[in-house]
Amino acid sequence: MDGAKIALVLFVSAILQVAVLTEYRAFRSASLVLVVLLCVALLRGSIVGAIAGFGTGLLLDTATLGTLGVTSLLLTVAGFWIGRYGETTARDRLHAPFLSVAVVTVLYAFGQLVLQFMLGEPAPAALVIDGLPLALLVNLLMTVPVYALTRRLFPPRQRADRIGEVQLLG
Amino acid sequence: MGGLVLLSFVLITVSFRSSALDGVQGTAAGILRPFEVGADRVARPFRDAFGWSKGLVDAKSENAKLKAQNRLLLQQLVKTQSAVAENAYLKRQLDYKAAPSEADFTRVNTEVLTNPQSDLDESITIAAGSSDGVGVGDVVRTPSGLVGVVDRVSKSVSRVTLLTDSTSNVNAADVAHPTSVGIVRRGSGSGTLILDHVQKQNFVGVGDMVITAGSLGAGALPSMFPRGIPIGTVMNESDNDINPFHSIQLQPFVDFSSIQSVTVLVPKR
């Protein structure tokens, strides 16, 4: 059930991103999909984060007829890493979603640049660096409502839910 | 996670090096098309309301400016119509063989599905594909001016590389000084264009309109762009001793960040 909900939320945000939001200059730097994915990964962990990132990336590359796998690779790593952060140190910390979004926004932008460069396509770093402050601002502003919504849709699991069984050794 | 990363690398390799996945990707893009169109339709009233309220702010000053411009354009129109009629008459008399114009192309009007997705992306996807006759290399324009060239086609969706992409180069000419011909390509800033390779002996004035030059004479490799598609106006022109050509900056007629619909010029095959 959770999986279907996550898929639906990411699908809707991906369609919104590619068809509507990117008409506005700010959303060519910022990304709603990235923010939603990070919030879901924080709440549901690394495995869900990685799978959701891969699927969302594939959807974005398909919709734009881009090189398949590029966005998947970046979002898989981002989803896994933030999911792991959520599973370990970030639990119940107020700053966690903001810190995650800020760090990943910067790394995602440079990741895109590096992949573009490695594929032999033009990779003007100045454009990315110029767009970063706006991307950070918009993504951080979006984090407030998006995290509140995703937290409502995917409430943090209770400790008892997460630990099914403990086996003592020795 | 390792498996997914590996799978991503496999996808990148296959997608980048071959066209094996193009069919699957095209079909999937076709499936996504109704969702994108639907999202756009839902967002349109909000976008229109935003545009309407934004337009109210400077409507009064813009109205006065447009009235003055309209008077000037009416005078120019009379002169232009007379010149066009004279030109057509002289061409008939001389049995003149001209470069291909837009009349030699079939027009496919279509909606834009996705705009550029990031600062590094200079492409859009449109809701027309091979089933509509669109092919790789077809020229794309809006009523305002040149947009770019189709670079990838599936059955119902195509991708267009914008004029602002660093790989785009268009043979262009100054309308006021037709011998001033150069290459329009991406400028240093986002969304800016430059007119390069214009010899210093040829004059280019600030405010001049730049259009596609088309094929200059018959050759083995004619230009894919028909003559006369507007590109932009000359914003700035300067010279220095090092550069053998003029340094010309253009203000494009098209706002490449937000294109709603386009016309694909399909050659009559």
ipTM of the complex: 0.79
| Chain B residue with the nearest C-alpha to that of A48 | B1
Say what percent of chain A tops pLDDT 70: 93
CB contacts, 8 Å: B39 with chain A: 15-16, 19-20
When scoring B13, B27, B42, B119 by the number of chain A Cβ atoms within 10 A, the one with the most, hence best to mutate, is B119
Cβ <8 Å between B159 and A65: yes
Q: How far apart are CA B23 and CA A19, in angstroms?
A: 22
Whether A59 sits inside 8 A of B32 (CB atoms) is yes
Q: How many CB pairs below 8 Å do chains A and B form together?
A: 141
A119 touches chain B (CB under 8 A): yes
Q: What is the least distance, in Å, from the CA of B14 to any CA of chain A?
A: 8
* Shortest Cα–Cα distance, A82 to chain B (Å): 13
**For B68-91, b where at least 16 C-beta lie within 10 A, e where not — what string?**
eeeeeeeeeeeeeeeeeeeeeeee
Choose the closest CB to B8 out of A19, A23, A54.
Answer: A54
Give Cα A27 distance to the centre of its chain. Answer: 15
Which run of H or of E encompasses B211? Answer: strand B209-212
- Give the confidence band of A168 by pLDDT, cuts at 50, 70, 90: confident
pTM of the model as a whole: 0.79
pLDDT digits (tens, 9 = 90+) for A33-50: 999 999 999 988 889 999
Digitized pLDDT (tens) for each residue of chain B, 269 residues in all: 788 888 888 888 888 888 888 888 888 888 888 888 888 888 888 888 887 887 777 787 888 889 999 999 999 899 988 998 998 899 888 888 777 777 778 999 999 988 888 888 889 999 999 999 999 989 999 998 999 999 999 888 999 999 988 888 898 988 888 888 889 988 776 667 888 888 888 888 888 899 998 875 556 667 788 888 999 999 888 887 777 888 888 989 998 877 889 999 998 76
Q: Name chain B contacts of A22, Cβ cutoff 8 Å.
A: 114-117
CA B129 to each of CA B100, B125, B132, B151: distance values in angstroms, whole numbers, following the listed order:
23, 10, 5, 11
Name the strand (E) or helix (H) holding B184.
strand B181-186
Which residues on A lie below 8 Å from B159 (Cβ)? 64-65
- For A63, the closest of B36, B166, B257 (CB atoms) is B36
Chain A, residues 120-139, CB within 8 A of chain B, namely 122-124, 127-128, 130-131
Contact assignment for B117 to A28 by CB distance below 8 Å: yes
**CB-CB: which of A20, A28, A119 is closest to B118?**
A28
CA distance A127 to B190: 7
Strands (E), A5-158: none
Q: Positive or negative, the Cα torsion across B86, B92, B96, B99? A: positive
Beta-carbon separation of B12 and A28 below 8 A: no
Q: Across the interface, do A59 and B8 touch by the CB < 8 Å criterion?
A: no
CA B157 – CA B159 distance, rounded (Å): 7
Q: Which residues of A touch B190 (CB under 8 A)?
A: 127, 130
Tokens encoding A145:
């409502």
Q: How far apart are CA B23 and CA B28, in angstroms?
A: 9
